[in-house]
Structures are given as structure tokens and as C-alpha cells.
Amino acid sequence: METMGNMEKQTGTMSNLPFVSQIQPPVKSWYIPVKRCLDLVFGLILGIFALPIIAVFAVAVKLDSKGNAFYSQERVGYMGKLIKVTKLRSMRNDAERDSGAKWAEKDDPRVTRVGSFMRKTRIDELPQIWSVVKGDMSFIGPRPERPELTEKFCHENPGFEQRLRIMPGLSGYAQVHGGYEITPGQKAILDRYYIAHFSLKMDLLIIFETIRVVLTGDGAR
């Protein structure tokens, strides 16, 4: 890891967390504004087509288990900015009553029947298309984590905070090449590889792999 002298301090809304001061400057590439334009255009198109699917599964979630069809969480986004993400609820309404914030696991017992299908096909992520349209997320990038988990993983895995150098995404390199067995440290390595090879070609490869994951039901984190 680089020394603190070579790092850019970025506080934003996360100034109370020490790892924020260790984030390196953002990635600089001609592709960044192009990617934002593509996210906006395809986000608007896909968001419209996704509405009936979201509506159907919102009803299915309500019928399958008690609680709201949707849930929102605070996540850590680009350069430590706090963002709100909304998903279709795939777990029991009381999933964190005893454990608190906890990383999802393979065959997680907290996942409902409908939730299991949604997670394998990524349908639970569809409401986040509107986060892409707003500019809080991109279609491709490191998955945003919750503040308490981000802080924990940054302390335990040097370099984990470098995932925040780029816009978080609905899918990413670590998601399609990892899986539920992946550790936070391994996830950080895969995401740093993506950042180092950030390009249109890389994003297209991840999109094709994401489509394969959705079609085969081989859901990843």
C-alpha cells in the first residue's frame, strides 16, 4: 500500500471513519464520462422494461413472507459517499434481529423461497437501476457494502478501501468471478484488478459473464 503522503484525503459524508483518508485519487480515464452516458441511456430504457418484473416479484415477496416487498440500506459509494440502495427483499423480515449486520453466505438460511430465486437470477437487484440513473451507481463496478461492514473489512484487509476509487455497480468483476465462498480480502483483490484494467472491453466482458450467471442461475454476491 502507498504511504499516507501519496494518498488523497476524501472526507465527504464519511469523515468519522478512518479508512476514508486512505483512498487513493479517483481513476482517470476518457471512458468515465462515456460510461456515465451509457449508464444513463440504458438505465432509463431497462428501468422502464423492469417495472412489470419488479411489480410481479413485489407481490410474490409479500405472499411468500411477512414484511415489506422492498427494503433500503445505506451503503458506501464512490470515494466514501453514503448512498441509499433499494432492493426487493430476499430475506426474512427479521433476518438481522439477532446477528446485526452480516455478510450474506451461500445457502444462507435467512433467505426466503422467492428470495432464493431472485438472488440467483439477480431480480432482487432490479430496483437499483434507478440508482444508476441517479448517478449513485453504475451498471458495472464493485458492489457497495454497508458502512459498518466496510469499516470492518478495511481494518482487516489492507487495500479494501481502494474499491471506493470508482463508482459502485450492480454487477462487477468480483461478483462474476467470485461467488458466495469469496472472502472480503479476495473480493478486494478482484476489484482492484478491475480498477487496474478499467476499460470498455473489461465492462463488456463482465456484462456477458453477468448474463451467463443470470441465465444459468449461478448467482453470485
- Can you give the pLDDT at residue 144? 93
Say what the pTM is.
Answer: 0.81
pLDDT over threshold 80, residue 129: yes
pLDDT over threshold 50, residue 6: no
In contact, 61 and 115? CB cutoff 8 Å:
yes
Per-residue pLDDT tens for 188-206?
A: 999 999 999 999 999 999 9
% of the chain surpassing 90 pLDDT:
48
DSSP code of residue 135: T
**Cα 171 to Cα 207: distance, rounded to the nearest angstrom:** 8
DSSP state string for 54-98: HHHHHHHHHHHSSS-SEEEEEEE-GGG-EEEEEEE--B-TTTTTT
Give the mean model confidence (pLDDT) for residues 40-61: 95
Helix (H) or strand (E) segment spanning residue 138: strand 138-140
